[in-house]
Each structure stands twice: as structure tokens, then as C-alpha cells.
Amino acid sequence: MKQSWIFEAEDRPHFFIERFGVGPSGRMDVRVSNVEIKIPEKSHTIQAGLLFVHQDKLWETVALLEDSGVTEAIDKEMDECILQLRQDDRWIDLNNAQTWNISRSMEHVKREGAEDNGHNGLQKAGFYYIFFAQCTPGMKVSFHMDAVFKNGAHNFLSIGDAPLPSVYLVMSLLFLSAAVVWWWCLVKNLEHVQRIHWFMAVLVSIKTVALFAEAMRAYYMKCNGDTLTAWTAVTYTVLSLKGILLFSVLMLIGTGWSLLKPHLSQKDKSVLSLVLVLQVVSNIAQIVEAETAVGTRAWVSWRDILIIADVACCAAVLLPIVWSIRQLRIAAATDGKAFINLQKLTQFRSFYLLVICYIYVTRLALQLLRASLPYDATWVAVAVSELAALGFFIATGYRFRPLPVNPYLEVPMHEDDLEEFALGDDEDDLDFHSVQHNDIHRFAYGAPVRTKASYSMKRQYSPERGSYANKTSDSINSHL
């Protein structure tokens, strides 16, 4: 990895800069330049530098930074701080120009201007975390930093990310297979294809292209260490389209558009517009965050924007499902067709849960997995994420595939399904009987469906009413 940072007037006591997984042939070259330090008039000491912390010392170092290290030193103006407590890890002292250019590997330690055969080189393979820390109250530090991290002669990726090009390529082939099957399914059942099915086909196709572009970009980064390739622009463009289309399709399926109703309500259109705006913001934040140097104030700001926009999108695609069920439940009391639609839409409960599981796996569970993986297996998190996406795509496509009568909508509805969405009130007004196969089949082709209302009308038709109607008819005929 080749990376450059520019820090201007940093008054933060400490912050994280970068992490890199070093293998048996790992090497880290770091150069600092344009150092400018402004100290208050009352201060007489300058303590600022970069810590290169091995993963075995990470939590202890973080605890010192947060509790007994920099914070305590600033508040009490102590002479000793984290830079003195961790002198073995302080490879670069911003107050000592001889340490501004270092080159360290698993085999040796080399410093420009001085030889140090000491004990603070790359002694172990694993993650190395770079932190900035300063212990002079009121001091502002500006500096430029350039780094080249590599594992071997032709691998600029972290040791755990080295298999990523192959992982992305394999996943793109799997999604390509899924896309081919879906397009074949649409062509085979063309008379039953709805508009949402075409959107789903475009989505899985774009996802395939996005994975292939990521594979090419990761391969270029592995060989060259930077992202100065046309595949970077292609990757960001396709990923942006994929993100917008994914959340739009989920939201449209949740509202039942083209499956249960031909048009979107005004509320659905508002939610769709909100999702599109949030996705545009999320995509911009993702691109800027990926291309901004880690540790800078701008990177922190865009990371927070990305998290907020992503969470808002996830919430927005879930709301229309519940809203649609509640609206149809109100209409179901007087409208037999709305009652059938309610029975169908309530079966989207499993799709609702499926979306929640997908969001949980790709957001929360994936972060926990990344934090627990060893330094040489970080690619597993990417593989799990893409496999989860593939499983979600397959499950959704199977449930909503084009068929004359979708068996997914024939699942019986029980009272518990409504209670989950707080729709169990006034259950006496409705007869929550199971939807029979023949009823669904008749409804699909426009035939009348026998509901509780129709049975009630039959009960109200008494024999006396029938005889009265016959007499009236005979009287009219005699007059004519």
C-alpha cells in the first residue's frame, strides 16, 4: 500500500492513522516531512511522535492513550506520557529529524542517519497500528507523511487482503450464474413478468459487474500499491448504481408495487425519494471516505456521515412494509378485495425478517467478524459479506419469481402474523381464516372469491324473502 497524509495544525492529543497486516516478508517504509510545531509560550518541552504498535500491545496502548496516558499528561502537565511509556514503539519523534525516515522489515532495522540494531523492529508478524500522540498542552503540529507497506516484492496489500482479487472474481462468477438463471426465468415466464422483476434482473446484473470491477481494482492495488487506475472510477460508479437500485428494489417490493398494486401511493413516493437522496449521500460519503487518508479530520467526518446515511436507508426500506399492512387492514373491514390483499401482504412478514437478517449480517455481524479475524484471514469477512448478499438475492428471487400463482402468497395467514406488526386489535371484525389454494387461484384470474361477507349475505337470504320475491315477480308479469 502506498499512502500519503497531510496533517494541518493538529491539536488532538492522539488519533489513529493506519493499520497494516505484516507477513513473514513484510516491510514498512515511512517518511515524515514538512514538520511544523507551534507551542504555547508557557510550554518548554515538545513531545510529539508516531507510535507503531503491534497487535499484542494494542489494547494496553489504547487504554494508556484514553486513560492514564495523554489525557492525564495534558490535564496535569506531567513530564511522562504515552510517548515515554512506549519508547520501543515510538519509531518517529517529530522533535528529532533523524527519525523522520525509517525503513523496517522482518529481517532488519534501518534508519536514515543512524544505525539501530535494537529491539524495536518488526519482530513479529501481525497487525501494526500507527498512532499519532502528543503530550504538550496547547501544541499544534503540522506534517506530511508518506508510507509504503508491502508483503514481498509484488504484494502491496495487507497480508490478509492478498486473496481479495480472487475472492471478488469468484463471487462475480457466482452472481453471473445467478443473473443468467434469473434472466432465463423471466424469458420462460414472460407472460407473468411484472415490472419489479425487470428491476431485479438489472440489479443482479449490476452487482455482477461491480464485483468484477472490484476484482480488477484489487488486483491493480496488489501489484502497484495505489488506486490510480480506471477500474477505480468504474468500481465507484457501478457500486453507486448498485446501492441506489438495491434499496429502491427492496422498498418497491416492500410496498407490493406491481405485485399487489400497479401504482405507488404518495407516501410510497416520498419514502422512495428519501431513499434515493440518502443513497446519493451515502455513495458520496463512501467514495470520499475511501479516497481520504485515514486519521484526518475529513476522514472522520465522512465516515460518520456514511454510517448515519446507511442506517437511515436501512430503516427507510423497512417502514413501507408495515405501513402497507396497516393501511390494508383498515380497508379490509369493508372491502373483500382489500382483505385478500391484506392476507397476501401479511405474508411479506418473512421477507421483512429476511431484510432485517441481511442488514444485521452485513452491518453489525460483519463488523464483529472483522474485529475477531486474525491478521492473515481478513479476506474471510469480504467472502462472508458477498455470500450473504448472494443468499439474500437468491431467497428474494425465489420468493418473488414470476409464476401464474405465486406459491409464496398462498401461505396461510394466522392471527400471530398481525400481532407482530401491532395489527391484532379489533380482530373480531375480521375472519382470519386461511386462504385456500382455490380462492387464490380465482382471485388471480379475476373470479369472485367467497369471503365471510359472502357467507353472511347467504345467511341473510331467508326462504320467506324468496317467496316474497317470487310473488312480486308474478304480480308484475300479470300486469304486463
pLDDT digits (tens, 9 = 90+) for 277-333: 888 888 888 888 888 878 788 888 888 888 888 888 888 877 776 776 666 566 555
pLDDT confidence tier of residue 205, bands split at 50, 70 and 90: very high
Cα–Cα distance measured from residue 26 to residue 20, given in angstroms and rounded to the nearest whole number: 10
Tell which residue, 460, 457, 192, 462, has the closest CA to residue 336: 457
The pLDDT value recorded for residue 66 is 78
Residue range 198-204: mean pLDDT, rounded: 95
120-179 pLDDT tens trace: 456 688 999 999 998 887 889 999 999 999 998 889 999 999 999 999 999 999 999 999
- The kind and range of the H/E element at 221 are helix 195-224
304: how many CB neighbours lie within 10 A of its CB?
12
Cα–Cα distance measured from residue 108 to residue 453, given in angstroms and rounded to the nearest whole number: 86
> In this structure, what are the phi and psi dihedrals at residue 242, rounded to the nearest 5 degrees?
-65, -45
58-78 pLDDT tens trace: 888 888 887 644 444 444 444
pTM, rounded to two decimals: 0.75
Compare 445 and 353 and report the one with higher pLDDT: 353
The pLDDT value recorded for residue 30 is 93
Structural domain boundaries in the chain: 2-151, 165-420
Residue range 392-405: mean pLDDT, rounded: 86
Fold (CATH) for 165-420: Rhopdopsin 7-helix transmembrane proteins (1.20.1070)
Q: What are the DSSP calls for 162-190, one per residue?
A: TTHHHHHHHHHHHHHHHHHHHHHHHHHTG
Grid coordinates representing 249?
428494489
369-378 pLDDT tens trace: 998 999 999 9
Given a cut of 70, whether residue 444 has pLDDT beyond it is no
Cα–Cα distance measured from residue 190 to residue 209, given in angstroms and rounded to the nearest whole number: 25
Alpha-carbon torsion (424, 432, 455, 459), positive or negative: negative
Cα–Cα distance measured from residue 157 to residue 225, given in angstroms and rounded to the nearest whole number: 7
Grid coordinates representing 254?
416492500
Grid coordinates representing 67?
486513560
Cα–Cα distance measured from residue 389 to residue 130, given in angstroms and rounded to the nearest whole number: 33
Instruction: State the amino acid at position 449 in one-letter form.
Output: V
